[in-house]
Amino acid sequence: MSIPWYRRMLETPQPVRFDTALRLPQAVSRLAAETEFSSWRLRFSEYMLGRVTPDSVSLRRVVPFFRNSWQPVFEGKFVETNGRTALVGLFGTSRLTRITMYIFVGFGTFWSCLALWSVSAHPDPNLPAWFPFCGFGMAALGLLMSRGFAWLSRGDVAWLTDKITNALRTSS
């Protein structure tokens, strides 16, 4: 399944699968043991935050004193086939961040389209020529901002992959 170009500008989901020889309850408990469930404790080192159940796994990396809404989040679930357990899911931006950016970019584009229509239907010599294009600039700024902030968390997928792989490893 291919993602349309306009969605790829705001989100880049990465499907992933973590196979393990552990049974489902043991895999869930091992991953849950490596995961913090609350960010209220003051920590000075990085940790994995989220929730782990057999039907729903949501994990993200927490770096003390640094918050980034564009950081990748793992969302998935455990599946068991032929006696083998696997954690399958996607690395991508959180839903709330994606929705917010769609609204931001959509509003900028919509505003420019309406401004272009308004200027062409009722020309006003007092308006600057660039007036209708402000919304496109706002949309472009949103896309640039989205990419820039995602760049700040470029190592999070590798870090989370390592933590998940180590938690699901069969040797203690």
One DSSP character per residue, 144-166 reads HHHHHHHHHTTTHHHHHHHHHHH
pLDDT at residue 76, rounded to an integer: 96
Q: 87 and 26, same structural domain?
A: yes
CATH number, domain containing residue 161: 3.30.530
C-alpha 158/C-alpha 155 separation (Å) is 6
Question: From the centroid of its chain, how far is CA 66?
Answer: 16
pLDDT at residue 127, rounded to an integer: 84
| 35 in Cβ contact with 52 (< 8 Å) | yes
C-alpha 101/C-alpha 69 separation (Å) is 11
Q: 86 and 44, same structural domain?
A: yes
pLDDT at residue 94, rounded to an integer: 87
Q: 106 and 68, same structural domain?
A: no
C-alpha 106/C-alpha 129 separation (Å) is 22
- Indicate the burial class of 130 (C-beta count within 10 angstroms; 0-12, 13-18, 19 or more): exposed
C-alpha 73/C-alpha 32 separation (Å) is 16
pTM for this model (two decimals):
0.80
pLDDT tens-digit readout, 42-73: 667 888 999 999 999 999 998 888 888 888 99
Q: 66 and 20, same structural domain?
A: yes
Flag whether 36 is in a domain.
yes
pLDDT at residue 36, rounded to an integer: 86
| 38 in Cβ contact with 119 (< 8 Å) | no
Flag whether 119 is in a domain.
yes
Q: 79 and 158, same structural domain?
A: yes
Q: 74 and 39, same structural domain?
A: yes
CA distances from residue 1 to 4, 13, 45 in whole angstroms, order as listed: 10, 12, 38
pLDDT at residue 9, rounded to an integer: 65
For 118, the domain range is 97-147
Flag whether 172 is in a domain.
no
pLDDT at residue 67, rounded to an integer: 82
Q: 133 and 111, same structural domain?
A: yes
Q: pLDDT tens for the chain, 172 residues: list them.
A: 566 666 666 667 889 999 999 999 999 999 999 998 876 666 678 889 999 999 999 999 988 888 888 889 999 999 998 888 999 999 998 888 889 998 999 999 999 999 999 888 888 888 888 888 999 999 999 888 888 888 888 899 999 999 999 999 976 5
Domain count, the chain: 2
pLDDT at residue 3, rounded to an integer: 65
Q: 23 and 84, same structural domain?
A: yes
pLDDT at residue 157, rounded to an integer: 93
pLDDT at residue 28, rounded to an integer: 95
| 119 in Cβ contact with 127 (< 8 Å) | yes
